[in-house]
A and B are shown apart, each in its own frame.
Chain A
Amino acid sequence: MVKTQHGIRYAVHLITSHFGNLVAKVCECLLRKGPLPLHTIVRYTELSQMQVKNSLLVLIQHNCVQAYRIDETGGSQSAPKQSTQYLALFDNILHRVRFSKFLAIISQEFDKLCVDIVEGLLQHGRLTLKQIVERANSSHKEGNSIGVDAVQENLHKLVMAHYVEHCPASEPFLASPTEEDAPARKRGAKSAKIVIESEAIEQRVLAAAVPMEARRFSLVMDSELNDDGEKDQNKSPDKHVGDKRKLVASEPDIDSEAAENQVVLWRANFEEFIRRLRHKDCIENVRARLDDGAAIVLSAMLEASKTEEKKVKTASSVPLSVNSIYEEVIKSEKGRNMTFDHVRAALVQLSSPPPFVTVADESYSIDFKHIIEAAQSEEVESIVLKRYGRDAYRIFRLLSKASRLLETDKISDTIFVEKKETTKILYKLWQDDYLLMEKLVVGTATFLLWKVNKLVLWEHVLDELFHAALNLSLRVAYELEQQKEIVNLPIDRREGPMKDKYEKLKKMRILMESSQMKLDDAIMLFHDF
């Protein structure tokens, strides 16, 4: 949820490259100013109302903006007026670079048709079943068309696995917070209060918009495709869907006659994809620190407990017994090679200090918080090592572990570096916001005390990650622009020096794109996991 300065710039860059300057301008306005009603956006962006409206429609279609209604405050009129505000969804904008990762997950678990369905949903933002079928048929090369049944069956599979969901309410009503609900922060910096308030609003809007659990992953399909037109008991008379359809009527993709029937709109459930990526990251971390056996056992524990996971950023998994873990382990091919004792030994290994798994009464649960924090620390320490050197790396690790103020002398003694050199490094780290410094004056002597503040630093590192991601993006675009003729060279012309240049460009592209993906993993580690 944290939007740093460069985070906003990066998000705006993504919207610009996907949807153009106009839409990006509206999006930037919302990201910087927070949720706004239409007329305010028009005023700030100095665009026409039609332009802003269309931009909002595009952003809503692609799940980058959520609309909601609130009571208009002020005025002594008898009936409170309601106004519609628009909230930019920073997280969903960032997900747009991860579509290939999401599709990779689907291709591992399902067949090609499922991958196509999800690809369509990601490309178009949201689709009805009818549109999904049409799209599947239009891209199909052979003569046989893909039947509605096949599509429906595959869609079912995806919904059951929670990778696809019903779209949220288009304009949920947000009641003003009551006295009890308001965060109890009477004192505190004004800026901190604003941040907390904006995060609170975003969470409340999303909570208000998301359909009830039963409906969100309900398998009932559209009434227009049902021959007997049965009504669904779970579905509430969703006037909002109808309202939204009128608003969206200008979108060429959406069939306006569908507005009459209550058609279900489907979209990819980002939450589930992020959860899966988080799990994968934990497994890989454990594999790197311990071994394959431990990774297989952890993977099994995740599989067994994932349905119980409430939110993505959960700190620990539900407790499992050795038997239930073993049952899950032998379900996979690799796991079948493991004996019960083997699994037991891996659990002991996982729960031995520093523990990735906690044990209580013969039940084991994964300590996500620990695994994620260890991975985050490793990333930051790596930056400090490469940017400032080995002594700085030691200093940073010392201060991170100490989590309190330490004096220069104490630091220099512990790391076995001369005081003068230590002071130089400390100053550099402090100037670049990696450390906090405090001066203590005792008589005539001045002491310098240093500290790592993880919360502050993690946000700073995240901002640097966004900055780097933006830089990578801009540079790759620049390189391709510079070498446009080579990029567009037809195959038969790629000979001699041209061929070398082409190969060089290809290498550059591969390096940049893999770096972008790796960096995005780091962004998820600090932002989403």
Chain B
Amino acid sequence: MSRLQGQKRKQTDSNSPAQSLTEQERILYNVIRSKQDMGIWTRDMKRETNLPDNVVNKSLKVLQAKNLIKEVVNIQNKGRKHYMATEFEPSKEITGGAWYVEGNLDTEFIQILKEQCTKQIYKLKVATLEGVTDSIKRSGVLNVELTKQQIDEILKALVLDNEIIELKSNGMGEFASIPVGKICYKCISKGNIGGEPRTGAMASIPCGVCPRIRQCTPDGIISPQTCVYYSKWLDF
């Protein structure tokens, strides 16, 4: 999570590395810098500066060595080489936002957040978005600042996992402290966090999970009589 605490690196001695640039390198550097926090793709660079390929490639190496530019991953097009001036932090469109690190989804972080939110909701019995956000802040478990928007995204994902349920308060009973109509959340599983939802009737038999059910017929090559999944299932 330390990446979220990263700060903009300021260039202390501003001009000395930039002064020893060739004309072409300077042109290239200015173009990259002008794109600020969006950065620019190598092909676009070549188009804009009209410089030949080998010149661009060499200049990029020089600029990088002098710490004037850096390579960043563009989440929209991971295959392309994307550069920006070192003083800028890549914008959200480039990085993918809070949930991405080095161009990939930070699944570990997301999982930790999910567990934390579930714990807080379980503690609070019924919680609104604000309630969960405050609760997490106060618990001090995370060393990063999360916006309400981000917590909201996590809660919505937890609803899809069937860990919590989204409801509108009716102001009565356990919802007494919440204004009527406000959206709030409750834990579903009675106590065990991360429990599996009940397995349905169909999912309990081989046919329910079979990827070939559409091709299965009584007299076909795939048939219930010859089915290997059944044989495994009935092999006591």
Residue numbers of A with Cβ under 8 A of B are 288, 348-349, 351-354, 378-383, 385-387, 390, 393-394, 397-398, 414-418, 432, 461, 464-465, 467-468, 470-472, 474-475, 478-479, 504, 507-508, 511-512, 515, 518-519, 521-522
Q: Given A349-B173, A468-B207, A474-B224, are A522 and B168 neighbors across the interface (CB < 8 Å)?
A: no
**A393-B160, A416-B105, A512-B234 known, 13 other contacts, Cβ within 8 Å:** A352-B170, A352-B172, A352-B173, A354-B167, A380-B200, A381-B197, A382-B200, A387-B211, A394-B157, A394-B161, A475-B230, A478-B224, A519-B202
Q: Which residues of A contact B207 (CB under 8 A)?
A: 464, 467-468, 471-472
Complex Cα spacing A468 to B202, Å: 8
Cβ of B177 < 8 Å from any Cβ of A?
no
Let me know if A475 and B224 touch, CB within 8 A: yes
Q: Which residues of B contact A383 (CB under 8 A)?
A: 200, 202-203, 208-209
Residue numbers of B with Cβ under 8 A of A are 99, 104-105, 107, 110, 153, 156-157, 159-162, 165, 167-170, 172-175, 197-205, 207-211, 213-214, 216, 218, 223-225, 227, 230, 234, 236
Q: Which residues of B contact A470 (CB under 8 A)?
A: 218, 224
Q: How far is the CB of A517 from chain B (nearest CB, A)?
A: 9
Interface of A is mostly: helix
Q: Which residues of A contact B159 (CB under 8 A)?
A: 397
Let me know if A386 and B160 touch, CB within 8 A: no
Q: Which residues of A contact B201 (CB under 8 A)?
A: 379, 515, 518-519, 521-522
Complex Cα spacing A511 to B234, Å: 8
Q: How far is the CB of B82 from chain A (nearest CB, A)?
A: 18
Q: Which residues of B contact A468 (CB under 8 A)?
A: 202, 205, 207-208, 213
Specify the chain B residue showing the minimal Cβ separation from A512: B234
The listed residue with most A CB atoms (<10 A of its CB), out of B107, B110, B223, B225, is B225
When the two chains form the complex, which single residue of A348, A511, A522 contacts B200, counting CB atoms closer than 8 Å? Answer: A522
Complex Cα spacing A518 to B198, Å: 13
Q: Which residues of A contact B225 (CB under 8 A)?
A: 474-475, 478
Q: Given A348-B172, A478-B224, are A387 and B218 neighbors across the interface (CB < 8 Å)?
A: no
Specify the chain B residue showing the minimal Cβ separation from A380: B200
Q: Which residues of B contact A504 (CB under 8 A)?
A: 236
Q: Given A382-B200, A387-B211, A474-B225, are A398 and B165 neighbors across the interface (CB < 8 Å)?
A: no
Q: Which residues of B contact A508 (CB under 8 A)?
A: 234, 236
20 A-B residue pairings within 8 Å (CB atoms): A353-B167, A353-B168, A379-B201, A382-B198, A383-B202, A386-B199, A386-B208, A386-B209, A414-B157, A416-B110, A464-B207, A467-B213, A468-B205, A468-B208, A479-B234, A512-B234, A515-B201, A515-B205, A518-B201, A519-B201
Q: Which residues of A contact B214 (CB under 8 A)?
A: 432
Q: How far is the CB of A389 from chain B (nearest CB, A)?
A: 11
Let me know if B168 and A416 touch, CB within 8 A: no
Complex Cα spacing A42 to B107, Å: 66
Q: Given A398-B160, A414-B153, A475-B225, are A379 and B216 neighbors across the interface (CB < 8 Å)?
A: no
Q: How far is the CB of A450 from chain B (nearest CB, A)?
A: 15
When the two chains form the complex, which single residue of B160, B168, B173, B202 contacts A348, counting CB atoms closer than 8 Å? Answer: B173
Q: How far is the CB of B189 from chain A (nearest CB, A)?
A: 11
Let me know if A382 and B170 touch, CB within 8 A: no
Q: How far is the CB of A472 from chain B (nearest CB, A)?
A: 7
Let me know if B227 and A414 touch, CB within 8 A: no
Q: Which residues of B contact A394 (CB under 8 A)?
A: 157, 160-161
Q: Given A414-B160, A479-B234, are A385 and B197 neighbors across the interface (CB < 8 Å)?
A: yes
Q: Which residues of B contact A348 (CB under 8 A)?
A: 172-173
Complex Cα spacing A379 to B204, Å: 11
Complex Cα spacing A478 to B202, Å: 21
Complex Cα spacing A475 to B162, Å: 35
The listed residue with most B CB atoms (<10 A of its CB), out of A382, A418, A470, is A382
Let me know if B224 and A387 touch, CB within 8 A: no
Task: Report the 5 A-B pairs with minimum CB-CB distance, sorted nearest first.
Answer: A382-B200, A468-B207, A471-B224, A522-B201, A353-B167
Let me know if B105 and A519 touch, CB within 8 A: no
Let me know if B216 and A515 touch, CB within 8 A: no
Complex Cα spacing A414 to B202, Å: 28
Specify the chain A residue showing the minimal Cβ separation from B169: A353
The listed residue with most B CB atoms (<10 A of its CB), out of A386, A461, A504, is A386
When the two chains form the complex, which single residue of B168, B175, B198, B205 contacts A288, counting CB atoms closer than 8 Å? Answer: B198
Let me know if B107 and A416 touch, CB within 8 A: yes
Q: Given A394-B160, A394-B161, are A387 and B208 neighbors across the interface (CB < 8 Å)?
A: yes
Complex Cα spacing A515 to B201, Å: 7
Complex Cα spacing A507 to B110, Å: 44
Let me know if A378 and B197 touch, CB within 8 A: yes
Q: How far is the CB of B223 from chain A (nearest CB, A)?
A: 8
Q: Which residues of B contact A387 (CB under 8 A)?
A: 203, 208-211
Q: How far is the CB of A393 from chain B (nearest CB, A)?
A: 8
Complex Cα spacing A358 to B211, Å: 41
Q: Which residues of B contact A521 (CB under 8 A)?
A: 201
Q: How far is the CB of A474 from chain B (nearest CB, A)?
A: 5
Let me know if A474 and B218 touch, CB within 8 A: yes
Specify the chain B residue showing the minimal Cβ separation from A355: B170
The listed residue with most B CB atoms (<10 A of its CB), out of A354, A390, A393, A519, is A519
Specify the chain B residue showing the minimal Cβ separation from A508: B234
Specify the chain B residue showing the minimal Cβ separation from A386: B203
Q: Given A416-B110, A515-B205, are A397 and B160 neighbors across the interface (CB < 8 Å)?
A: yes
Let me know if B174 and A352 touch, CB within 8 A: yes
Specify the chain B residue showing the minimal Cβ separation from A384: B203
Complex Cα spacing A456 to B201, Å: 20
Complex Cα spacing A86 to B211, Å: 39
Q: How far is the CB of A403 from chain B (nearest CB, A)?
A: 15
Specify the chain B residue showing the minimal Cβ separation from A521: B201
When the two chains form the complex, which single residue of A354, A386, A390, A465 contacts B165, counting CB atoms closer than 8 Å? Answer: A354
Specify the chain A residue showing the minimal Cβ separation from B161: A394
Let me know if B204 and A518 touch, CB within 8 A: yes
Let me know if B157 and A416 touch, CB within 8 A: yes
Q: Which residues of A contact B161 (CB under 8 A)?
A: 390, 394
Complex Cα spacing A303 to B210, Å: 41
Complex Cα spacing A335 to B99, Å: 52
The listed residue with most A CB atoms (<10 A of its CB), out of B110, B162, B202, B236, is B202
Q: Which residues of A contact B205 (CB under 8 A)?
A: 468, 472, 515, 519
